[in-house]
Amino acid sequence: VYQPGGQVHAAAFAPEKDTAFVAAGAAGLHVVRLRPRVEKVGAIEAQDFVFDAAVSGSRLYVAEGLGGLSVWDCAQAAAPKLLGRYQPKEGRVFQVMVPPPGRHALLHVGEVRLEIVDVADPAAMRLVCQDVRDGLLYRLPLADGSLDDRYAGCLWHASGFYWYDLKAEPG
């Protein structure tokens, strides 16, 4: 059992799988070694509540509420290094999903908006698409993973499930 002192919203596993990144709400993001015993070995300095975390390759993506999205090099899992930050124009980042090959991050922003951000260069992330549909986005509207490393999905509770082609040209 691991009790971080905040509400655990999500966990993502480091590339070597013996370390987890725990999104612990007001307690921030904890780096937790899982073997031989469960123990905190580090943390990152978050700018707001940490709602979600995702790993793609050697990068850690953290949904920091009003702090936006942060991207970290997690090759050395116990000591992630900040690579960049993305701040939506308005709203908290509640969820992040980064399908292979790690070029795009899908973000649940605020109550009604999906943003797709090009994260290939974490120092210069940019918005490539945003979508708003009828209804609200409740907790965890983004599908866990993608189809064929190309199609990602999002569920608006009033208007249904929508697919996004991550290989299509923006526009």
For 22-75, the pLDDT digits (tens) are 999 999 999 999 999 999 999 998 999 999 999 999 999 999 999 999 999 999
* 139 — pLDDT class (breaks 50, 70, 90): confident
Maximum distance among all Cα pairs of the chain, rounded to whole angstroms: 50
- Give dist(CA 152, CA 56) in Å, integer: 15
**Are residues 96 and 144 in contact, defined by beta-carbon separation less than 8 angstroms?**
no
HSE (CB half, 13 Å, CA atoms) of 46? Answer: 29
* 13 — pLDDT class (breaks 50, 70, 90): very high
- pLDDT recorded at residue 169: 77
Q: Beginning with the edge strand found earlier in the chain, give each strand of the sheet holding 81-86 in spatial order.
A: 52-56, 59-63, 69-73, 81-86
- pLDDT recorded at residue 15: 87
171, pLDDT greater than 70: no
129: its two tokens: 């698409």
* 170 — pLDDT class (breaks 50, 70, 90): low
- Give dist(CA 64, CA 116) in Å, integer: 16
Give the mean pLDDT of 66-86.
96
101: its two tokens: 């090959």
Cα pseudo-dihedral 35, 37, 40, 42, rounded to 10: -30
16: its two tokens: 């070597």
70: its two tokens: 């942060």
Mean pLDDT over the full length of the chain:
94
Contact partners, residue 162, CB within 8 Å, separation at least 6: 131, 133, 153, 154, 155, 156
Residue in the block written with tokens 């509420």: 65
131, pLDDT greater than 70: yes
**Are residues 69 and 117 in contact, defined by beta-carbon separation less than 8 angstroms?**
yes
* 1 — pLDDT class (breaks 50, 70, 90): confident
168, pLDDT greater than 90: no
- pTM attached to this predicted model: 0.95
